[in-house]
Amino acid sequence: MNVVELRDMYFAYNDKVILENINLSVERGEFMALIGPNGSGKSTLVKLVLGLLQPTQGQVLLYGASVNKFNEWYRVGYVPQKAALTSKFPATVKEVVATGRFGRVGLGHRLRQDDWKSIEEALEMVGLISLQHCPLVELSGGQQQRAFIARALASSPDILILDEPQVGLDDRYVYDFYRLLQQLNKEQNITIIMVSHDVGAIGSWVDRIACLNRKLVCQGSPHDILTPYNLNHIYGTDHPAVAGLH
Amino acid sequence: MAMLQYDFMVRALIAGLVIGMLCPALGMFLVIRRYSFMADTIAHISLAGVAIGLWMGVASSVTPLLILVVAVLGALTVDHLRTRTSLSADALLALMMSGGLALAIIFFGLAKGGALDITSYLFGSLMTVNSGDLKLILIVAGIVLLFLVLLYKELYFICSDEESARVSGLPVDRLNRIFIFLVALTVAVSLRVVGTLLVGALMVIPVLASLIIGRSFKQVFYLSLVLGVIATLLGLTASYQFGLAAGGCVVLTALFFFALFYALKQLLTYFKRHNALQKDKQ
Ligand SMILES: Nc1ncnc2c1ncn2[C@@H]1O[C@H](COP(=O)(O)OP(=O)(O)OP(=O)(O)O)[C@@H](O)[C@H]1O
Ligand SMILES: [Mg+2]
- Assign A241 a pLDDT band (cuts: 50, 70, 90): low
B195-240 pLDDT per residue, tens: 887 899 999 999 999 999 999 999 999 999 999 999 999 998 998 8
A162-191 pLDDT per residue, tens: 999 888 888 888 888 899 999 999 999 999
**Dihedral sign computed on CA atoms, order B29, B125, B3, B235:** positive
Q: Which of A225-229, B139-143, B158-162 has the lowest mean pLDDT?
A: A225-229
Residues B21 and A66: their CA atoms lie apart, in Å, by 44
Query: Is A91 within 8 Å of B153 when comparing Cβ atoms?
Result: no
Given a cut of 90, whether residue B45 has pLDDT beyond it is yes
Given a cut of 80, whether residue A238 has pLDDT beyond it is no
Q: Write out the E strands in chain A.
A: 2-13, 16-27, 31-35, 57-62, 65-66, 76-79, 159-163, 191-195, 208-213, 215-220
Task: Report pLDDT for B278.
Answer: 83
A 106-145 residues with CB < 8 A to B = 107-108, 110-111, 133, 135
Give the predicted TM-score (pTM) of the model.
0.90
Q: What is the mean pLDDT of residues B80-92?
A: 89
- Assign A246 a pLDDT band (cuts: 50, 70, 90): very low
Task: Report pLDDT for B60.
Answer: 76
Pocket of ligand 1 contains residue A18 by CB under 6 Å: yes
Which stretch, B60-69, B109-118, B140-149, has highest mean pLDDT?
B140-149
Query: Is B32 within 8 Å of A90 when comparing Cβ atoms?
Result: yes
Pocket of ligand 1 contains residue A41 by CB under 6 Å: yes
Task: Report pLDDT for A41.
Answer: 93
Work out the mean pLDDT of chain B and round it to a whole number.
Answer: 90
DSSP A109: P
Q: For chain B, how far is it from start to end, CA to CA, in angstroms?
A: 56
Q: What is the percent of chain A where pLDDT is above 90? A: 63
Q: What is the mean pLDDT of residues B253-268?
A: 95
Single-letter code of the amino acid located at B71: A
Of the candidates B167, B214, B218, which has its C-beta nearest A73's C-beta?
B167
Task: Report pLDDT for B1.
Answer: 62
As for the ipTM of the complex, it is 0.89
A138-158 pLDDT per residue, tens: 988 888 888 999 999 999 999
Contacts of A110 in chain B (CB under 8 A): 153
Given a cut of 70, whether residue A236 has pLDDT beyond it is no
Q: Relative to the CA of A14, which ligand 1 atom is closest? A: 4
Task: Report pLDDT for A227.
Answer: 80
Q: What is the mean pLDDT of residues A1-26?
A: 93
Work out the mean pLDDT of chain A and round it to a whole number.
Answer: 89
A36-67 pLDDT per residue, tens: 999 999 999 999 999 999 999 999 999 999 99
Q: What is the percent of chain B where pLDDT is above 70? A: 98
B165-193 pLDDT per residue, tens: 999 999 999 999 999 999 999 999 998 88
Task: Compute the nearest-CA separation of A233 from chain B (Å).
Answer: 34
Q: How far is the CA of A45 from the centre of ligand 2 (A)?
A: 9
Given a cut of 50, whether residue A92 has pLDDT beyond it is yes
- Asked if residues B108 and B119 have their Cβ atoms less than 8 Å apart, the reply is no
- For ligand 1, pick from A42, A47, A195 the residue to mutate: most ligand atoms within 8 Å of CB: A42
Single-letter code of the amino acid located at B241: Q
Given a cut of 90, whether residue B109 has pLDDT beyond it is no
Q: How far is the CA of A205 from the centre of ligand 2 (A)?
A: 21
Residues B209 and B220: their CA atoms lie apart, in Å, by 9
- Return the C-alpha torsion angle B46, B49, B50, B52, nearest 10: 150
Query: Is B163 within 8 Å of A74 when comparing Cβ atoms?
Result: no
Query: Is A155 within 8 Å of B154 when comparing Cβ atoms?
Result: no
Query: Would you say how long chain B is, in residues?
Result: 282
Residues A7 and A10: their CA atoms lie apart, in Å, by 9
Given a cut of 60, whether residue A93 has pLDDT beyond it is yes
Residues near ligand 2 ion, CB 5 Å cutoff: A 42-43, 81
